[in-house]
Chains A and B, each alone.
Chain A
C-alpha cells in the first residue's frame, strides 16, 4: 500500500446541530451532557408512534449563507453549506484565498429526504405531473456537495458519498487520502442529513426507535432517536497549516473501511473487529495506544452489544473509555461520524472525554469494566482516539485522530 507523502491535519470545524450553530456551541453542550432532543416540529408527527428527534431548530439559512440562494437548495444542502463556511472561517481562512483544487467530500444517508417527503405529498394529493420543478432539482444527493462548492467558490471535486450512517468517515478518509497524496492541498470533509417521515417510520417498524431517550450501552436502552444536522472539517497538509500559523486541532492518522457482506441491517462483530484492526494498522497505531473510542453507539440493543464485542476482541483486557454522543444529539445519520470526528478533534485539543450523558447503568451483558463516561465530559488528555461509523449494508468506516506532534 502506498504511504501518504503529507501528514494531514484538521484546522477548522463547523457544525449546524440541535444545539445551534457553530462548533463551539456544539462542544460546550456535549461537554455539559445536555440533550438536543425535543418533540418533532419539521413534519406533522401527531400520528407517528414516537415523536422525539434531534432537530435543528430555528435555523435561518440567510444568516449563515452568503452566496447561494437558500430557496434553491434543500435543507441538508443548507446545513452542509453553512457548516462548511463556518469550518473555513474557524480555520482562519478567507474563502477567496482557498487553494486551487480545494473541494468538498460529504457523507449522507438520505440526502434531501425532507424535500422528497414534500414531493411525495404532492404526488399523493395531485400526482407526479404536479411536482414542483424547483424541488425536483434539489433532490439528487450530489447537490449537497455542490451547495458547498458554490457557496465557497470552490472548483475542485464536489462529491457526495452515500454510504448511510458511516458516510462522514468515508468522506474524511477520502479527503485524508487526497491531501496525503498531494492531489489537493486542502479538502472540506463532512456530512449532512435531515429528519424525515420515512426514516422515523422505518426505524420504528424495525423495532429500533426509542420513545423518548437514547441510552447507548444502558441496560434499558431501546433504540435510536433520529436527528439531523451538518458538520464540516477542514483538512490540510501539515506543512501548509504550520506555514500559515494555523491552529491544529488534531492530525488524521489513518482510517479503515470494510464491508460485513452478510446482512443489510444486522452488524457482524467479527467484521467490525477486522475494521478496527485495519484502521489501527493503517494509522500505524497499536490498540494500547488508543485513549478513547467515540462509538457508533446508536443505543439499539444489537448495535451496542455488537460494537462492544468487537472492541473487546481487539482491545482484549485493556478496553479504553467508550462513549456515544448519540446519547445527546441522537442519530444524525450520514453526519454522525462527522460529529464524532469533530468532538474527537475538540477532545484532543481541549483535553476531555465526551460523555454518554444518558447512561444510568451499564448493561451487565456487555461485560465487566466498561467505562462509558456517564453524565458529563471528563477532563483527560487523550492523545490518540478512534471514531466509529457503521451502516446499513455493513459499510464500516473507522477514522483515527491523534494529537499533532
Chain B
C-alpha cells in the first residue's frame, strides 16, 4: 500500500499551563539549558502530606483567579488545568458564534483522568460509615472523560468529544485522532492536546515503578492546540505551524527495539513529503526515563543518520508529564521556531516512547507563509 502524502493540518493557537511557563514566549529558550533538578518540594496544593521522595515541577494554578468562582468549587485539578489551557487556546481566535461552537470539538489525551479523584472516590467507600455514603456531586470527577466534558460545557463545544488513554503517547494519539476526525467531518475545528496533574497517587506510582531517572522531576499541566480542517482556514490566517504525518508502533509489552521508532520516523517523513535532512529540530521525551532515552536516541539516529538537528527534550523542561508529554513537546517546538525562526525548507519532529512498549512520532511544519517563501 503506497501511502499518499498527507495534507498539513494548520495549528491556529496554543494555550498552556505548566511549571515552565504559561505561553510560548515564556517557554522559548528554556530548552537551551537544562536546569538542575530543584529540591523536593511539597505537592501542588502546598500540602506536605503523603508525597514520595521525588522532585516536582508544579504549575502555579489559581483556579478562582483564572476561572472565577462560579462552577469551580468541585473541579478536580485535571479539569481545572484543562479549562485554563482551553481558555488560553481559544483567546487568540476571538469569540466563536454558536454555529461555530456546534462544529468545534475536543480531543484530549489523559491516561487515567484524575486518578486522584477516582481513587479518593474509591477510598470513601472504605472509610465512610457505609460504603455508599459518597458525595454524588464528585462522581463525575471520577470518570476519565470529565475534563473533556467540562471543557465542552464551559465553551458550548458540541462536536466530537474524545478522551484518549495511551500512556506517554496519549497526546500524540490525540493529534492522530484529530486528523481523522477533521478529515471525516466529525468536526471542523478541534481543541487537541493533553493534561496531567501532580497528585500523591501518581507520584507514588512513579516511585514504585523505579524507572525514573535519578534527577528526573514529575511535572503537570496542560497544552491544548486549536486545529482546523485543511482548506477551512483563510490562507492569510496566522498559524503556529502545521502538523503532518504521524506513525505509531504498539507491540504491547513485548520487547521492542529502537528500529521500531526509526521505522515510524521514516514512514512519517515519507508520508509528509519531507526528506530526513530537512529535519532541523527534534523534540524528545526520553530524558526522565533513562532506558527509554537510549532507545529514543538510537531510533532517531537510525532514521536521521548523522543529523545535526537541534535536539530538545521536553521532559527536561516540564518534568515528566506522562499523558501531556507530546502536547508539551509540540509547544516546545513551536516556541523554538517563534524564537529563532525556522530555516528555509525546515521541518520538525516529535518523538515519543512509551513505558508500555509503544513508539511514535509526529512531523511538524512551519507556518504556510514561510513554507511558500521557499
By a beta-carbon cutoff of 8 Å, the part of chain A in contact with chain B is: 1-2, 47-49, 68, 72, 103-104, 108-111, 113, 116-117, 119-121, 123-124, 127-129, 131-133, 136-137, 139-143, 145-151, 153-164, 170, 174, 177-178, 181-182, 196-198, 200-206, 257-265, 271, 282, 391-395
| Chain B residues bordering chain A, tally (CB within 8 A) | 80
Can you report 7 residue pairs joining A to B where beta carbons are below 8 Å apart? A129-B52, A142-B356, A160-B164, A182-B1, A198-B122, A203-B139, A394-B153
Q: Does B209 contact A133, Cβ atoms closer than 8 Å?
A: yes
For residue B243, which residues in chain A have a CB less than 8 angstroms away from its CB? none
A1, A146, A392: which has the most chain B beta carbons within 10 Å? Answer: A146
Alpha-carbon distance A153/B166, docked complex (angstroms): 18
Residue of B nearest to A197 (CB): B125
Q: Does B144 contact A111, Cβ atoms closer than 8 Å?
A: yes
Alpha-carbon distance A149/B122, docked complex (angstroms): 29
Hey, what's the 0/1 contact readout for B96-132 against A, CB within 8 Å counting as 1? 0000010001100011110100110111111100111
Given contacts A146-B357, A159-B164, contact A201 B125 (CB under 8 A): yes
Hey, what's the 0/1 contact readout for B147-174 against A, CB within 8 Å counting as 1? 0111011011111111111110110010
Is B42 located at the chain interface by the 8 A CB criterion? no
Q: Does B119 contact A119, Cβ atoms closer than 8 Å?
A: yes
CB distance from A199 to the nearest CB of B (A): 8
Residue of A nearest to B260 (CB): A155
Q: Does A393 contact B180, Cβ atoms closer than 8 Å?
A: no
Q: Does B250 contact A155, Cβ atoms closer than 8 Å?
A: yes
Q: Does A258 contact B160, Cβ atoms closer than 8 Å?
A: yes
Q: Does A392 contact B145, Cβ atoms closer than 8 Å?
A: yes
Residue of A nearest to B180 (CB): A177
Is B252 located at the chain interface by the 8 A CB criterion? yes
Which residues between 203 and 226 of chain B lie within 8 Å of chain A, taking CB atoms? 204-205, 208-210
CB distance from A157 to the nearest CB of B (A): 6
For residue B371, which residues in chain A have a CB less than 8 angstroms away from its CB? none
Given contacts A162-B144, A163-B162, contact A123 B184 (CB under 8 A): no
Is B254 located at the chain interface by the 8 A CB criterion? yes
For residue B133, which residues in chain A have a CB less than 8 angstroms away from its CB? 201, 205
Q: Does A260 contact B158, Cβ atoms closer than 8 Å?
A: yes
Given contacts A201-B134, A259-B161, contact A392 B143 (CB under 8 A): yes
Q: Does B139 contact A131, Cβ atoms closer than 8 Å?
A: no
Q: Does A395 contact B149, Cβ atoms closer than 8 Å?
A: yes
For residue A393, which residues in chain B have a CB less than 8 angstroms away from its CB? 140, 143, 145-146, 148-150, 152, 161
Alpha-carbon distance A103/B166, docked complex (angstroms): 13
Which residues between 1 and 20 of chain B lie within 8 Å of chain A, taking CB atoms? 1
For residue A129, which residues in chain B have a CB less than 8 angstroms away from its CB? 50, 52, 204
Is B36 located at the chain interface by the 8 A CB criterion? no
Alpha-carbon distance A377/B85, docked complex (angstroms): 50
Is B253 located at the chain interface by the 8 A CB criterion? yes
Is B38 located at the chain interface by the 8 A CB criterion? no
Q: Does B170 contact A120, Cβ atoms closer than 8 Å?
A: no
By a beta-carbon cutoff of 8 Å, the part of chain B in contact with chain A is: 1, 50, 52, 101, 105-106, 110-113, 115, 118-119, 121-127, 130-136, 139-140, 142-146, 148-150, 152-153, 155-167, 169-170, 173, 177, 180, 183-186, 200-201, 204-205, 208-210, 248-254, 260, 354, 356-358
For residue B185, which residues in chain A have a CB less than 8 angstroms away from its CB? 1-2, 282
Q: Does B205 contact A139, Cβ atoms closer than 8 Å?
A: yes
Given contacts A142-B165, A177-B180, A204-B132, contact A258 B139 (CB under 8 A): no
CB distance from B201 to the nearest CB of A (A): 7
Alpha-carbon distance A129/B253, docked complex (angstroms): 25
For residue B252, which residues in chain A have a CB less than 8 angstroms away from its CB? 68, 146-151, 154, 158
Contacting residue for A259 out of B144, B149, B165, B250, CB 8 A: B149
Q: Is the interface of B mostly helix, strand, loop or mixed?
A: mixed
For residue A2, which residues in chain B have a CB less than 8 angstroms away from its CB? 183-185
Contacting residue for B132 out of A137, A174, A205, A271, CB 8 A: A205
Contacting residue for A201 out of B106, B132, B156, B209, CB 8 A: B132
CB distance from A52 to the nearest CB of B (A): 14
CB distance from B255 to the nearest CB of A (A): 11
Contacting residue for A149 out of B119, B153, B251, CB 8 A: B251
For residue A182, which residues in chain B have a CB less than 8 angstroms away from its CB? 1
Given contacts A259-B159, A264-B149, A394-B152, contact A123 B119 (CB under 8 A): yes
For residue A204, which residues in chain B have a CB less than 8 angstroms away from its CB? 132
Q: Does A155 contact B251, Cβ atoms closer than 8 Å?
A: yes
Q: Does B149 contact A392, Cβ atoms closer than 8 Å?
A: yes
Alpha-carbon distance A148/B357, docked complex (angstroms): 13
For residue A147, which residues in chain B have a CB less than 8 angstroms away from its CB? 252
Alpha-carbon distance A182/B180, docked complex (angstroms): 12
Q: Does A150 contact B251, Cβ atoms closer than 8 Å?
A: yes
CB distance from A298 to the nearest CB of B (A): 15
Alpha-carbon distance A281/B160, docked complex (angstroms): 16
Given contacts A142-B111, A198-B125, contact A259 B164 (CB under 8 A): no
For residue A163, which residues in chain B have a CB less than 8 angstroms away from its CB? 145, 148, 161-163
Q: Does B160 contact A140, Cβ atoms closer than 8 Å?
A: no
Q: Does A128 contact B204, Cβ atoms closer than 8 Å?
A: yes
Alpha-carbon distance A212/B152, docked complex (angstroms): 35
Q: Does A257 contact B186, Cβ atoms closer than 8 Å?
A: yes
CB distance from A158 to the nearest CB of B (A): 4
Q: Does B131 contact A48, Cβ atoms closer than 8 Å?
A: yes
Alpha-carbon distance A142/B143, docked complex (angstroms): 15
Residue of A nearest to B121 (CB): A198
CB distance from B211 to the nearest CB of A (A): 10
Q: Does B250 contact A157, Cβ atoms closer than 8 Å?
A: yes
Q: Does B142 contact A202, Cβ atoms closer than 8 Å?
A: yes
Residue of A nearest to B156 (CB): A261
Q: Does A162 contact B164, Cβ atoms closer than 8 Å?
A: yes
For residue A164, which residues in chain B have a CB less than 8 angstroms away from its CB? 143-145
Alpha-carbon distance A291/B101, docked complex (angstroms): 33
Q: Does B162 contact A117, Cβ atoms closer than 8 Å?
A: no
Contacting residue for B165 out of A68, A111, A113, CB 8 A: A111
